């Protein structure tokens, strides 16, 4: 998180900026927590998305084989 006054990096849980002395507001703390949660949520969503995609690909491959077998059986009839 950065100081709203001078842009210096703030230590975790800091009540004021070590560079300029400006008090860290509640809004800044909430913003930092929101950004942290968004990054964590995004990482989790990416993992889920990759898992869903790989599952969909394997289902798609199975469905292709089944349709081809069905088409071959129709041709033989």
Q: Between these two residues, 17 and 13, which has the higher pLDDT value?
A: 17
Distance CA 60, CA 34 (A): 38
The pTM of this model reads: 0.36
Chain segment 32-54, per-residue pLDDT in tens? 777 788 888 888 888 777 777 77
Residue 22's alpha-carbon distances to 10, 16, 27, 39, in angstroms, are: 11, 5, 14, 27
Q: Provide the number of structural domains found in the chain.
A: 1
pLDDT at 8: 92
- pLDDT tops 70 at residue 77: no
Q: Which domain holds residue 48?
A: 1-77
């Amino acid at each position: 998180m950065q100081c709203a006054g001078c842009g210096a990096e703030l230590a975790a849980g800091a009540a004021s900026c070590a560079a300029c002395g400006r008090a860290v507001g509640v809004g800044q703390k909430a913003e930092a927590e929101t950004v942290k949660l968004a990054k964590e949520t995004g990482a989790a969503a990416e993992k889920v998305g990759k898992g869903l995609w790989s599952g969909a690909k394997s289902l798609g491959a199975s469905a292709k084989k089944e349709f081809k077998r069905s088409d071959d059986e129709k041709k033989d009839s």
